[in-house]
Structure 1
Amino acid sequence: MEQETQFWFNTKTGQVETGPQALALDRIGPFASAQEAARAPEIIAERARAIAEEERLED
C-alpha cells in the first residue's frame, strides 16, 4: 500500500517541508500539496476570521 506524500509548513523557517521534518510545535499540516502548505498562514487567518464571525453572529 503506497502512502501519499504530505506537505507541512514550517512556522519557524517559513518553508514547505515534504513529510513532517520539524518539531510538531513548528509545523502546520498536513496538506495534500506544496502549494496548499505554502498558503498555511493565509488559510489559518481565513479560518480564524470565519470562526470569529460565527461567534459574533451567535451573540
Structure 2
Amino acid sequence: MTPEDEKWYFDPKTGRVTQGKEGAWDDRMGPYDTREEAAHALETAAARRAAADAEDAAEDDWGKPAAWDPTTK
C-alpha cells in the first residue's frame, strides 16, 4: 500500500468519502489526512476561496483615486 492509498478523498458528484484514489482525478478532492477532513472538503474549499477573494479585493484597493482622475469629481 502506498502512502497515497492511505489518504482520504471526497467525490463532489456523489458526496462519498473514500480511502485511496477511486474514480477520475476530476471527480475527487484531496488528498486529506483524515476521513473527517475529507468529509468537510467543500467547506474547506469555500473558506479558502473566501480568503483568496478577500486577499484579491484588498490588493485591488489602492486607497483614494488619483487627483487627476476625472471619475472622482
TM-score, structure 1 length as denominator?
0.91
Which residues of structure 1 form unaligned runs of 5+?
none
Partner of 1:40: 41
Larger radius of gyration: 2
Question: What is the Cα-based RMSD across aligned positions, in Å?
Answer: 1.3
Gaps of 5+ in 2: 61-73
Runs of 4+ in 1 over 6 A off after TM superposition: none
Matched, 1:3 2:3: yes
Aligned residues: 58
Identity among equivalent pairs (%): 38
Matches within 5 A, 1:18-33: 18-33=19-34
Provide the C-alpha distance between the structure 1 equivalents of 2:3 and 2:27, rounded to a whole number of angstroms: 23
- Structure 1 residue aligned with 2:65: none
The Cα shift of 1:8 comes to 0.2
